[in-house]
Amino acid sequence: MGMAPLLPLTLDEASKVLEWPIGVSMALSELAQGPAISRVSSGEALLDYIVEMRHRGGMRDAKLPARAVQGMGLFFRELVPEDFCRGFFGSLLPAMAQLALRLSALVKDHIDGSVSDRFPSQLDFLQLRALPAGQSGMVLLSQELVASILACGFFCLYPSAERNKLDLPDLNFYKLFMALVDENREESAKHKIICLLHYFQIVCESVPQGMISYERKVLSLEQEMEDPLSFWSSSSRPLCQILVMEDGTIEGSDTPVLEVDFANRVLGGGVLGAGCLQEEIRCVINPELIAGRLFLPAMQDNEAIEIVGTQCYNRYEGYASSFRFAGKFFDNKARDAWGRKETHIVAIDALPFPGEAQFDAALMLRELNKAYCGFLVHQSIQCGGSSESARGVATGNWGCGVFGGDHEVKSMLQWLAASEVSISMSQKFMLWDDEKPLQAGRPFLLYYTFKDPRTTKLQRIADWILEQKWSVLELWSVLIEYGKGRKYTKVGFFDWLLPD
């Protein structure tokens, strides 16, 4: 479908150009001139102004919840210093309004210039559009357009009707302020907002000139496959190297890696609400990830989302309720031939709350294929910079926190997925609709434990398996055997494999 119903813009029938509704355009223009013109110098006044813009934009649900009003007022009145408020209302807010106002021009430039000039033969392939479930594809956006998309989200200007039909997550920021009203989450929510405002401060002062790609990857089994387990049960691929890291973070690796986002089905999860776990934290230190929510509906079991080129703007400390903004991050990563930062992030969602059923072959296969889909490389998108196939995978306790996944089995499944090297359509799997081979090609896996005591045996187990020269099929077969016997024992996989 076209993007018009998903944007706060209207399509001019004569020119076929997406433009701001005149009422919203006037309101943003006033806001861009500062508080002397807009009369917006408090959180309550800003929320009222946002609601008025939503009315002018013709939204049926223009009014926002009372808790959003309460939260925005609380943030600027009590939770941040007075000089922060003066700087926000005096200079940053007007700059953000100007950035949002540029959305129409930037979308037009995206269609007519930034993508078509660079990639004339792939315009349809890379152009801004919805990427619905079941359809592989990629969207390539400038960082400036991404910043404008996010500024419109701060002003809560995205209509919800069409988004709900497509299972698209919300892109409006008001629930962030609602989270401030919950005293148990007030501090983490406050620091998430500070991270996002810090991002806006940086891009409003100097807009980055790079590009970002957002890709939906779809892994589908051919209909005639009689036994979905046979692909893994017949693979003679050797297992790749695995290095267990007790210190450090996935995003802090100093080697070229594919960084795993422990995602929810919808990209970003609760980033624009009360959530503050691994995915949400990654999205507020790399806020450009959030823009994918505009056009990427929830992932299905055989899908992953890979985003290349986002910039890191914020340092942080803590996790969940202890999360805190810790200052500016200077992202010195190089750019590839497409102008993307050499940051490759893949979102894969684990099974939520699988309990004992997670040891069944069918559920292990789901997790294995999900990780494999995320780790695959499509040859037609290779470009300058470091080779994608030379990138290892940086991951950790995927789906093992609140989702309740088993650390030991999930680490083995991710190892299997990273180890499987190359396949083609004739070998039962398909990614994209062409004849080009697929390749995982991951030479190593970095596993960050975050000092979780349940992963202390991982390196010893992995080293033993590598010494035995097991292949993918051998490790997979042992996991299947363990799963079958799980109902008779509660011993973990590591102790079952190598009893002390």
Mean pLDDT of 346-362: 96
Q: What is the mean pLDDT of residues 87-98?
A: 98
Pair of tokens at residue 391:
């990138």
Which one is predicted more confidently, 226 or 141? 141
- Active-site positions? 261, 279-280
When pLDDT is averaged across residues 416-440 and rounded to a whole number, the result is 52
Question: Under 8 Å CB-to-CB from 21, ≥6 apart: which residues?
Answer: 8, 9, 10, 56, 57, 58
Average pLDDT value for residue range 228-246: 89
Residue 422 confidence (pLDDT)? 46
pLDDT given for residue 263 in this prediction: 97
Residue 432 — very low, low, confident or very high, per pLDDT cuts 50/70/90?
very low
**201-213: per-residue pLDDT in tens?**
999 999 999 999 9
132-154: average pLDDT: 95
pLDDT of amino acid 459? 96
Q: Which domain holds residue 426?
A: 4-497
* Region 474-496 average pLDDT: 94
Helix extents (H) in 17-81 = 22-32, 35-38, 43-56, 66-74
Count CB atoms within 10 A of the CB of residue 134: 12
How many angstroms from the chain centroid is the CA of residue 72? 25
3-class secondary structure, 317: strand
Residue 185 has pLDDT above 60, yes or no: yes
What is the CA 169 to chain-centroid distance, rounded? Answer: 12
* Range with lowest mean pLDDT among 136-150, 385-399, 452-466: 385-399
pLDDT of 427 reads 37
Please report which confidence band the pLDDT of residue 119 belongs to, taking 50, 70 and 90 as the band edges: low
CA max distance for the chain: 76
For the chain, percent of residues with pLDDT exceeding 70: 89
Q: How far apart are CA 56 and CA 24, in angstroms?
A: 6
* Over residues 173-183, mean pLDDT: 93
Q: What is the pLDDT of residue 165?
A: 86
Please state the domain count of the chain: 1
Tokens found for residue 189? 């929510």
Predicted confidence band of residue 376 (pLDDT cuts 50, 70, 90): confident
Q: How far apart are CA 417 and CA 396, in angstroms?
A: 14
Q: What is the mean pLDDT of residues 467-485?
A: 96
What was the pLDDT predicted at 180? 95
pTM summary value: 0.93
Task: Grade residue 487 by pLDDT with cuts at 50, 70 and 90.
Answer: confident
CA 31 to chain centre: 30
pLDDT tens profile 295-325: 999 999 999 999 999 999 999 999 999 999 9
Q: What value does the mean pLDDT take over residues 454-479?
A: 95
Residue 402 has pLDDT above 50, yes or no: yes
Average the pLDDT over each of 141-145, 175-179, 419-423 and give the range with the smallest value: 419-423
- Residue 121 confidence (pLDDT): 58
Which one has a higher pLDDT value, 16 or 316? 316
- Mean pLDDT (the chain) is 89
Please state the rounded mean pLDDT for residues 278-306: 97
pLDDT at 120: 58
